[in-house]
Amino acid sequence: MEKINIALVGYGNVGRGVEEALKLNADTELVAVLTRRPEQVRKELNDLPVFHIDEKPGDIQIDVAILCGGSKEDIPVQGPKFAERFNTVDSFDTHAEIPSYFQKMDSIAKERGHVHVISTGWDPGIFSLMRVLCDAFLPQSKQYTFWGEGISQGHSDAARKVVDVLDARAYTIPIEQAVRRVRTGETPEFAKREMHKRMVYAVAEEGADIERIRRDIAAMPHYYDDYDTEIVFISKEDMRKNHSKLPHGGFVLTSGVTGEGNKQILEYRCQLESNPEFTANVLVACARAAFRLSMDGYRGAFTMLDIAPRYLSPHSAETLRKSFM
């Protein structure tokens, strides 16, 4: 079998997760890593070509570049840059900026002839897909997305960008009473802060202005300003010991009525012991789709809403019809 040649851009939690995920997918192969710190990464990856992120990776055949960096500073720059040369997949998760990022990637794609699958992963990504499907299946229904309890990488990254924050982990916590009301069939209107709260554990630079950090985090637009956020300062030691795992979970609930008052409830739920490892697996499935879409002659930016599900699967259309229908 001809394998799909994958390059990683970035080698953090998600990058390492993708490296592991590729081993589970027999039709893919990791052929290069591009990183800001090639010297360090080379020590971890003996057998693999490692390049500085600004280097051209020589004559290595790359079918899809998976962008494994953060949404706040990495992907908005790396997306358009790597789109010039490769099919790409990313997990850009700043919801409010997805439409403009899509436009940018789409216009580069049309010029250069590539496929770019943007904003994949869990949410945006699978949960987006579920919202669209369940809304289509139950028109005039109400939808609720609950996240947690778990660590949000996007929100942790964001908190880490605040001056004098050395490290941070942000937990998303669904508000139990809200969940209970929806599960028992009520369809209330919630403000964002009535559905979730956020809890940030932060390590601050010695002598930093703790109150200023608190304010800076709590006021970050798109990330924290719509929620009640509790911020707890802890030691590096405490962070390493008690907050090194990256679990997450959540569910999309769609509640509708058909005919003469028949209640119809659809629910999609994730329960993840490792969020980045799961996101990594979704990125790999989308890399497969990007490659196949490009082989089928498609050009442009895609979200998971634009991809026929069979493109994501390692199995043939025949096998899917025979064994999965």
Helix (H) or strand (E) holding 268: strand 262-272
Closer residue to its own copies, CB minimum distance, 207 or 259: 259
Query: Rounded to 5 degrees, what are φ and ψ at 63?
Result: -85, -40
**Least distance from its own copies to the Cβ atom of residue 247, Å:** 8
**Least distance from its own copies to the Cβ atom of residue 104, Å:** 13
Q: Which of 45, 48, 53, 133 binds its own copies (CB under 8 A)?
A: 133
Structure tokens at 102: 């899509």
Contact call for residues 312 and 53 (beta carbons, < 8 A): no
Q: In angstroms, rounded to a whole number, what is the distance separating the alpha carbons of residues 142 and 227?
A: 21
Select the span of 39-47, 55-63, 91-99, 197-205 touching its own copies (CB under 8 A).
Answer: 91-99
**Least distance from its own copies to the Cβ atom of residue 163, Å:** 30
Q: Does 88 bind its own copies (CB under 8 A)?
A: no
Select the span of 1-9, 40-48, 93-101, 171-179 touching its own copies (CB under 8 A).
Answer: 93-101
Q: Does 325 bind its own copies (CB under 8 A)?
A: yes
**Least distance from its own copies to the Cβ atom of residue 138, Å:** 6
Q: Calculate the CA dihedral of residues 70, 75, 76, 77 and round it to 10 degrees.
A: 120
Q: Does 312 bind its own copies (CB under 8 A)?
A: yes
Structure tokens at 170: 């942000």
Closer residue to its own copies, CB minimum distance, 219 or 320: 320
**16 three-state secondary structure:** helix
Q: Does 194 bind its own copies (CB under 8 A)?
A: no
Of 183, 216, 211, 177, the residue nearest 195 (C-alpha) = 177
Q: Does 187 bind its own copies (CB under 8 A)?
A: no
* Pairs from 153-156 (Cβ < 8 Å, separation ≥ 24): 153/13, 153/14, 153/70, 153/246, 153/275, 153/276, 153/279, 154/70, 154/71, 154/72, 154/93, 154/94, 154/223, 155/198, 155/200, 155/223, 155/224, 156/200
**Least distance from its own copies to the Cβ atom of residue 156, Å:** 18
Q: Residue 177 corresponds to which amino acid?
A: Q
Say which residue the tokens 């009525």 belong to.
257
Q: Which of residues 138-167 bind its own copies (CB under 8 A)?
A: 138-140
Q: Does 132 bind its own copies (CB under 8 A)?
A: yes
**191 three-state secondary structure:** coil
Q: Which of residues 245-284 bind its own copies (CB under 8 A)?
A: 258-259, 262-274, 277-278, 280-282
Q: Does 322 bind its own copies (CB under 8 A)?
A: yes
Binding site for its own copies (CB under 8 A): 17, 20-21, 24-25, 95, 98-99, 102, 119, 124, 126, 128-129, 131-133, 135-140, 258-259, 262-274, 277-278, 280-282, 285, 288, 303-310, 312-315, 317-318, 320-322, 324-325
